[in-house]
Amino acid sequence: MSQGRIQLDRLDGQRLLLSDRPQASSAQPHARPEDPFTFVALRLCETGLEHGEQAQADRNNAQSERSAQVPDLILPLREKAAKVLAPIKQSAAIDDGGDDAHGDDHAVKLPEALRHFLPLAKTKAIEVACGPLHELELAVARDPDSKEAVDALRAHLDVLMKVTAAAIAERTEDMDEKAAKELIKACETAITAGNKDFLGVYQNVFNVILSGDADGMAKYDEAVVVLDAAIKKPAVAEQRDEAGDAAVLFADAARMKPSFDDVVREVASATGAGLELAVLSTKEDATRASDGGAGQGGARKARTGLKKTSRVIEKSALRPGEGRGLSKCVCDVVRAMLVATSMSMVASIVRALWALHEADMIQVVRIKNRFRQPSAGGWRDLMVNFVIVGDATRHVCEVQVVHQMMLTARKGLPGHAIYGIVRNAMELIESCGREHELRREAVRVMVEEGKTDAELIGAFEDAWVLADPEWAEGVKGGRDALVRKAIKVDREEGRLNGLVLSKIWMKEALPASVLRLTALRELHLEDCTLLNLSLFGEALKAHHSLTKVYLDGIALPVKLLRGTDPVETLDLSGKQLRSEHAVVIACLIGVNGALTVTNLLGNRLDAESAKMLADVAKQKGISLCGIRRDQIKTDYSWKKLKPPDAILLASDLSQAVVTGALTSINLSYNQLCGIWTDDYGDEQGTYTAKGITAIAHAMRVNGALTKCDLRGNDMGEEGNASIRDAVQGKTGFMLHL
């Protein structure tokens, strides 16, 4: 990385060149940050566990440093105290998870429901099979090019894969319906219990972040849009084919780890972020750990700095579909965490990663924006997968960008232990293709407990809408009205499937985040006078779950109009459609690749909306009057067709692709010029030649039509003259006026 010179903005206003390579640093909790909110967040984090690579190094060296500072006269007393306290220290280490413990593990706090769920990794056969792995991993981590070390690791991982596959099969395969329901219920209980407490805590913390750092959140949203736009689509995070072998994957990771470490240290230095980064223990570290472990109890194992291969095997074995057993989709063997004290700092980190991507130093291949779309347990962060440009294996690494307040909240919960159980339960269900049944079971339990619609939504992926300020501000009555009046919930799936915004939506447009409501089926927008329907129609082009939009009490079949559910023919005649419906229809049929015939005659359109529809139809070659492309004659007599209908008819008659076969059309006894005679012989309506003039223009260019009946339309001299002029010179043309 030292050859690249990329200038990044620090939050304190200074400029920093990545080639300057300052020492890796964590966030400085005692330096007053840019705003009071960030200062509060920092003070909160000071009370929690320290973050940063330097802090980890301090902990690793603490014992040796203390020994160096102890006077000779005190050493015997210290040694005696250590001997007396060794059993207590060992017991504490075991309670805390021993060598595999994470800083946020508190097994004693596990909810009762989780204590009865046995994760795969805790089954006896798998624990035994994992026994020798650590030393084999260390050998590869220290020398990833050693064929002997990689082969030895592979041989043991093959055994572990067989043991893991057998354990999975025992739980999931050849189940009758009763056993399947029992598995689903057990997993649902574990998942619900695991997520229950987290959802509230994480949401409350994030609400504080949003309320105190709205400007930072806006900067973050903007930065993520830019980074996402730079990623090649479709975004795929996948290792090379050879890394389907977990031993090869681990060797690739070990080979790439130093370069990855260099990148994340540079980003941390440039942005002022804290850095949590596991590093490979030196042989001196390993020796010290070994010496301390003999009688002291609780000494840490030497670290590989990489994800454990036992978890890689478990993840691969649980993967559903064709790739089961292959590890090429595991993209977090090399990983780190960047800890930001504000959302502005998170935005700076995103900009730093984008700068490195644009400079062709890294290639970002995928992001998961969980600040905006949290996990099922409510956790929020940004996950970024990238490769180091120039790496022959193109090993995909992962960096997790977190807010320090979220991380501090997690440190106070039994996060890793619960996360492991919840994750394992989810993966078991996914491995046997029963995710839908699991979800329905979770919703069934909540409904049985009497949960409200808001509580149902709050437990699943649409929960964000309840706290989204754009939605609350757009609804008359704010969040309370949004919850009480607007949201409709599928009480079998737990998804928001309807929004009733009639008379209460007060903005020109719906939030762009409406696209995130992927289960939304119906949208009611009657009497939303401020809503710009052109903007709304454009937005509908990209919303693929909506089936009906209600305007003025009439439901538009969105999927049929857009072509998501493709049909060639669609009849919307006589539906009382108005100009507002026409705006939306024009937007949708403009992207429809299947529709060739629709019928919009006999509605309540005006001339402008009819012309707008005609313009779109001519571009797409669509009939607006129900005329099939092979149709020879058609009869529209006595249909009470009005001037806007005449404009739609003119559109069809002007297109050879639509009416190239049509030779005869009967338009008699309609109201094509806007006037008619009532039952008492009195003339009604207002005369306009717009419609009949449009038909006349169409007849001039139509080369197939030989007969047209326009009697009984009160066209007046102007209308009759325009029609006569249009067919003049067409030999054999039969015109009835």
Measured CA to CA, the distance from residue 470 to residue 486 in angstroms comes to 14
pLDDT at site 40: 33
Spatial distance between the Cα atoms of 428 and 185, rounded to a whole number of angstroms: 12
Q: Quickly state the pLDDT bin for 183 (edges 50, 70, 90).
A: confident
Alpha-carbon distance values, 268 to 28, 343, 361, 374 (Å): 12, 15, 16, 24
Using alpha carbons, select from 341, 361, 369 the residue that is nearest to residue 266.
Answer: 361
Tell me, what's the pLDDT at 442? Answer: 82
Is the Cβ–Cβ distance between 364 and 227 less than 8 Å? Answer: yes
Higher pLDDT, 221 or 172: 221
End-to-end Cα distance, the chain: 84
Mean pLDDT of the chain: 82
Helix or strand (DSSP H, E) at 182: helix 177-212
CA distance 623 to 617: 7
DSSP letters along 592-640, please? -SS--EEE-TTS---HHHHHHHHHHHHHHT-BSB---TT--EEE-TTS-
* Element containing residue 523 per DSSP (H, E): strand 522-524
Mean pLDDT on 534-552? 91
Query: Residue 568: pLDDT band by 50, 70, 90 thresholds?
Result: very high
The CATH H-level (homologous superfamily) assignment of domain 112-175+190-282+303-431 is Beta Polymerase, domain 2 (3.30.460.10)
What does the DSSP 8-state code read for residue 174? T
Q: Are 535 and 557 in contact (CB under 8 A)?
A: no
Residues in the chain: 737
d(CA 56, CA 27): 14
Which pLDDT score is estimated for 74? 55
φ, ψ at 265 (rounded to 5°) = -65, -40
CB 51 within 8 A of CB 339: yes
Q: Over 50: is that where the pLDDT of 190 sits? A: yes
pTM score of the predicted model? 0.60
CA triple 353-358-359, angle to 5 deg: 95
Q: What pLDDT band is residue 621 in, cutting at 50, 70 and 90?
A: very high
> What per-residue confidence (pLDDT) applies to 635?
97
pLDDT, tens only, 508-528: 999 999 998 999 999 999 999
Report the alpha-carbon distance of residue 669 to residue 663 in Å, rounded. 20
Which tens digit of pLDDT belongs to each residue from 141-171? 999 999 999 999 999 999 999 999 898 888 7
Q: Half-sphere exposure of 123 toward its Cβ, with a 13 Å CA cutoff?
A: 17
Query: What does the pLDDT look like over 464-510, one tens digit per residue?
Result: 898 888 999 999 999 999 999 999 999 999 999 999 999 999 999 99
Distance CA 269, CA 271 (A): 6
pLDDT value, residue 321: 74
Assign 386 to helix, strand or coil: strand
| CB-based burial, 635-645: b 16+ in 10 Å, e otherwise | ebeebebbbbb
pLDDT bracket for residue 291 (50, 70, 90): low
Q: Percent of the chain having pLDDT more than 90?
A: 57
pLDDT band of residue 44 (cuts 50, 70, 90) is very low
